[in-house]
Amino acid sequence: MRFSLLGVLVVACGAGVRAATAKISVNTKALILATDDSGKAAIGTLNGYGIPYDSIVMSDSGYTLPALTNSDGSCKYGVIVAFRQLYNSNSKGSWVSFLGSDQWQKIYDYQVACGVRLIHLGAVPNQWDFACSLVSSNDATESNSLYSTNHQFFLDTDVAKAEFPTANLKNPKNARFASTWHTPGWCDDTLLQYAWGMTSQNAFLYNEPLKLTSPASGTLASVSQPALGVINRYSSGREQMAFFTTFAQWAEASIYMNHIWINWAFRGIIPGRRQVLLGLQVDDLLLPTAVYAANYTYRITVDDVVNHAKWQIDLNKRLTSSNPGSEVFLEFGFNGNGAFIYDQTVLGLSKNGTCPISVTYTGPQPVTSLEYAKPPGTGSDLWPANQTYNWPDNCIFYDPIAKMFSQNNTGGDNVNGVSDLFGLVSHTFTHEGENPITYADSKREITYNQQFQSKSFFDKAKRFSPNGVIPPAITGLHNADAIKAWMEAGINYVVGDNTRAPLRNQQNDRWPLISTAADNGYPGLVIIPRWANRIYYNADGVASDVQEWLDVSPSQATNSMTNLLSIERATTAQYLLSLYHDPFMFHQANLRVWQDPGVSVNGVSGPWSLIQMWTESILDEFVQYVNWPIQGLKHDDMGRDFVDRMNRDLYSGFSVAWTTSSDGTTITGFTVDCSNSSWSGEIPVMVPGDVASLSNARVTQYGSDPATLWVSKFPTSFQLKSPIQMHGTKINITSAAISLTTALPSLTLPTTSLVGSFPVSDIISAKSTSAASASLSSVASAKSSSASASATTSAAAKSVSSSSTAKLTSSSTSSGRSSSSSTSSASGTSSGSSARTSSGSSTSSLRASSTTSSATASSTASGDSDASRFLNSLCADSTTAASVGNLCTLWNAFKQTGKIQKRLVLPEGMPQYDWDNEGGHPEAIPRWRKRDGHQAHGRHIKRHQ
């Protein structure tokens, strides 16, 4: 008889265990269990919501769990998440679950007593644990293709609606795995007989259909609905959800799936908030920009502004229909002196004395290193000593762009004003670099722009940010004199640059960085993280942007705007789905509209500007996954939002506990409390439906998303108008099966080209060079060392030891970054670089795709990567080897021949997103920036050099 070690996990649950029959209280904190750093893949998304969690990393078998209940009988955790069924190679070299059967039983008993759901991530299908059998082939290349091809995946919308409605997910039109290892299963009621005590299996997530030419014994030749996710229910009342794929923090697929289990496990009562913010910040408004690889400067025209106004209105119309409640907007960082430069140079209004000349530096700007810290009081003024704000107001309005931004639209379709559409925030008056700046110049840079914003009526714009500034070229953030001048002028919020670690909060990447005297020279300034991207500051169209990509990033770049946008699509959708709120950086030259830009975006050939191409691309990618609203927040409101989030994590000690009916069968409500009795802020809680009384809370709700309560008094208990059944029931999947085949024509296996508009093949070809692999490795290892450095700074990380050692990081104070206290963060890097070389052809036919995949020799065979160890131990034991189909045949063949080119190892814990060898931060290599200085002010620099 075939016997699986994995099957041993099924112990006698049900026997002697009784479901709750009394009122219970369950704290909605997550418990993450893993045997390595794979937990990061779940923690990233929890941190996006702000959900508290504990994370246990077991280092050996025989681990004893901490108590799961409090002394008063209340339940400590609202969900338990286990990676890879906690299998790993233990200190004796055996491939075992690090939890023994008694400890698994403890979890099962806790589930039954508290009504808490168990989530298996990275599980492999087997009939004993899931009533699903692994889809597997006897043919090595076929199986390899089966597990590693970038297959499409689908949600069963009927099951989704019944089981996790608050996730509010779409069935994605073309979502694919991106080099995560997935092992689809065939889930069927006939397999229930093997799963002791299990009463139902209910798949909710599917792989595209699979046809095998050489099915392993027990595998169907044709599986029309291979399952990637299944819900199991037991006669004891226990419920679990399993995903048959590995999870990675950098994978869109994993993040999408995280939202499924989070909403299912918490039944929609989520201690946190799910809001997607898209900040589109355009720096250098009113200044001209010297265009890259060209001999001209560009400054946006009235036509460009009108085009973007109309586009934004149209975009929001489309967004409102695909994702109700959405509203995004461009936000401009303006430099008032630019209007006077325009008067002087273009209109000649200084020659006959109509407008005084623009501010003209008395010498060249000193060049400094990126993180230069100027000793306070040093440096020379660049502004003329006798400079005054001497421009008549008319001189503002001679500039047609300043005029457009100074008034609301009264011209109907002939847009004549954009003050009621776009955001505006100061970018300082002349854009003088503030690393070496003196206090006097910094003061004038900020206060002159304040005079300008008042005289130009920019400060009357609908989305003006009086308390914020975008530092010029993100300088001055270690300059005490600069920061002091800003803060004296009422500036509390600035943006940083995520490519620079010193400007990002190293304890939690969802928190802002608050300046300190030690690091920044002056304390208390809020630095909001901001993403760079591959739309470069001095690019005005496809030609300059692609040329700059090729020059800055030769290992990654191709001569294709479509490829560039594909990388941006994936990178950005990942950030948005992970609920990062950091805005994105753009510049005025990116708004140049080209009637024939030379590239089609989502099937439309133009006209487009670079920022339009980017925004349309990333939104097309994002909206396929979710119905959630996507919104803009103006600069200083975003700063307040970041600060509020950090403060509640750090100081409130909040908890949200659901309470049940007296017989324990329904969740009737929940209580929000804070351990810090002097906490006076708000705590957000997402709710699945109406609550009876709204005292002590305000409500936000957008589009079709669930409402969020913002609770302001503690403790407060809320009663749900419709109590939630503790236990669900199997959804009749008949109709789902029909919708799966009829509503999704793209389920048909593509043979020659990819369906939908996401050209994955382009990305793959862009990356399949050995140079790309090499540069990826170095970036990845640099990253991982900074991650571990940050982990040591985490004050909250603490160790507990029981029968075996483990790390327990407690989350409400230290999530995200700090929890990446990884043991082997560099492992998996080499495999990561080879992974991208997979499926050079876009076909998904198993046969064809494996024969056409021929890439450079893979480097996956690095002996001691986590995944290699996993597979070596798995395959060393004949019983476990037998339980995973021909996985081991494949692995052994690979080790001998090195011929299988696709990802053969599990990417869990892979530290680096491998489409992204610049870490998503292309300007991390600011070669051009350094050499050219900020060309926007070339006029002044040239004059004095």
Among 622, 437, 431, 619, residue whose Cα is nearest residue 537: 431
Nearer to ligand NAG, 401 or 613 (CB): 401
Contact in structure between 929 and 473 (CB atoms under 8 Å):
yes
Give the dihedral sign, CA 744/124/130/882. positive
Which stretch, 247-255, 384-392, 591-599, 879-887, contacts ligand NAG (CB under 6 A)? 384-392
Task: Find the binder of ligand NAG among 218, 384, 490, 554 (CB under 6 A).
Answer: 384
Q: Which of residues 454-493 bind ligand NAG (CB under 6 A)?
A: 457, 460
Minimum Å gap between C-beta 395 and ligand NAG is 11
Which stretch, 191-199, 323-331, 342-350, 500-508, contacts ligand NAG (CB under 6 A)? 342-350
Q: Cis omega (within 30 of 0) on the bond before 607?
A: yes
DSSP 919: T
93: exposed, middle or buried (Cβ count in 10 Å: 0-12, 13-18, 19+): exposed
Q: Which of residues 439-458 bind ligand NAG (CB under 6 A)?
A: 457
Task: Find the binder of ligand NAG among 378, 695, 732, 793 (CB under 6 A).
Answer: 732
Nearer to ligand NAG, 354 or 823 (CB): 354
List, in order, residues 6 or more apart from 489 with CB less than 8 Å away.
Answer: 443, 446, 447, 450
Nearer to ligand NAG, 348 or 490 (CB): 348
Contact in structure between 155 and 141 (CB atoms under 8 Å):
no
98 binding ligand NAG? (CB under 6 A): no
Minimum Å gap between C-beta 756 and ligand NAG is 31
Cα→Cα distances 128→5, 149, 759, 875, Å: 10, 27, 39, 20
Minimum Å gap between C-beta 321 and ligand NAG is 25
Minimum Å gap between C-beta 290 and ligand NAG is 12
List, in order, residues 6 or more apart from 782 with CB less than 8 Å away.
Answer: none
Q: How many CB atoms lie within 10 A of CB 737?
A: 16
Minimum Å gap between C-beta 859 and ligand NAG is 44
352 binding ligand NAG? (CB under 6 A): yes
71 binding ligand NAG? (CB under 6 A): no
Task: Find the binder of ligand NAG among 387, 661, 666, 741 (CB under 6 A).
Answer: 387
Q: Give φ, ψ of 203 to 5 degrees.
A: -75, 145
Q: Which of residues 544-563 bind ligand NAG (CB under 6 A)?
A: none
Minimum Å gap between C-beta 464 and ligand NAG is 10
For residue 831, how far is the Cα from the chain centroid?
A: 22
Nearer to ligand NAG, 380 or 732 (CB): 732
Nearer to ligand NAG, 360 or 555 (CB): 360
Task: Find the binder of ligand NAG among 71, 388, 414, 878 (CB under 6 A).
Answer: 388
Minimum Å gap between C-beta 772 and ligand NAG is 32
Which stretch, 62-70, 186-194, 319-327, 383-391, contacts ligand NAG (CB under 6 A)? 383-391
Residue located via tokens 């762009």: 401
Q: Which of residues 488-547 bind ligand NAG (CB under 6 A)?
A: none
Task: Find the binder of ligand NAG among 73, 93, 218, 348 (CB under 6 A).
Answer: 348
418-437 footprint of ligand NAG as x/- string (CB under 6 A)? -xx-----------------
Minimum Å gap between C-beta 789 and ligand NAG is 47
Nearer to ligand NAG, 173 or 403 (CB): 403
Minimum Å gap between C-beta 541 and ligand NAG is 14
Total number of residues that touch ligand NAG (CB under 6 A): 19
Q: How many CB atoms lie within 10 A of CB 95?
A: 22
List, in order, residues 6 or more apart from 586 with CB less than 8 Å away.
Answer: 280, 281, 282, 283, 533, 535, 537, 610, 611, 614
Q: Which of residues 829-868 bind ligand NAG (CB under 6 A)?
A: none
637 binding ligand NAG? (CB under 6 A): no
Nearer to ligand NAG, 159 or 685 (CB): 159
Contact in structure between 917 and 269 (CB atoms under 8 Å):
no
Nearer to ligand NAG, 152 or 297 (CB): 297
Which stretch, 341-349, 505-513, 691-699, 807-815, contacts ligand NAG (CB under 6 A)? 341-349
Task: Find the binder of ligand NAG among 408, 665, 788, 802 (CB under 6 A).
Answer: 408
- CA atoms of 827 and 863, how far apart (whole Å): 10
Contact in structure between 234 and 729 (CB atoms under 8 Å):
no
Contact in structure between 149 and 57 (CB atoms under 8 Å):
no
Cα→Cα distances 4→7, 257, 617, 882, 884, Å: 5, 27, 46, 7, 9
Which stretch, 151-159, 379-387, 784-792, 863-871, contacts ligand NAG (CB under 6 A)? 379-387
739 binding ligand NAG? (CB under 6 A): no
Cα→Cα distances 434→442, 484, 801, Å: 7, 12, 50
Minimum Å gap between C-beta 501 and ligand NAG is 39
- CA atoms of 161 and 263, how far apart (whole Å): 11
407 binding ligand NAG? (CB under 6 A): yes
Cα→Cα distances 782→250, 328, 776, 789, 911, Å: 17, 35, 10, 11, 10
Minimum Å gap between C-beta 388 and ligand NAG is 6
- CA atoms of 76 and 724, how far apart (whole Å): 20
Among 135, 115, 159, residue whose Cα is nearest residue 222: 135
The angle, 0 to 180 degrees and rounded to 10, between the axes of the packed helices 439-455 and 480-488 is 30
Q: Which residues are 469's β-sheet partners? A: 426, 494
Among 102, 78, 115, 65, residue whose Cα is nearest residue 233: 115
Name the residue whose CB lies closest to ligand NAG.
732
386 binding ligand NAG? (CB under 6 A): yes
- State the alpha helices, DSSP H only, in 333-399: 337-345, 394-397
Minimum Å gap between C-beta 277 and ligand NAG is 24
The angle, 0 to 180 degrees and rounded to 10, between the axes of the packed helices 561-577 and 760-767 is 110
Minimum Å gap between C-beta 406 and ligand NAG is 6
Minimum Å gap between C-beta 385 and ligand NAG is 7
Q: How many CB atoms lie within 10 A of CB 313?
A: 12
Nearer to ligand NAG, 398 or 891 (CB): 398
Task: Find the binder of ligand NAG among 217, 295, 595, 742 (CB under 6 A).
Answer: 295
Q: Which residues bind ligand NAG (CB under 6 A)?
A: 295, 347-349, 352, 354, 384, 386-388, 390, 407-408, 419-420, 457, 460, 732, 734
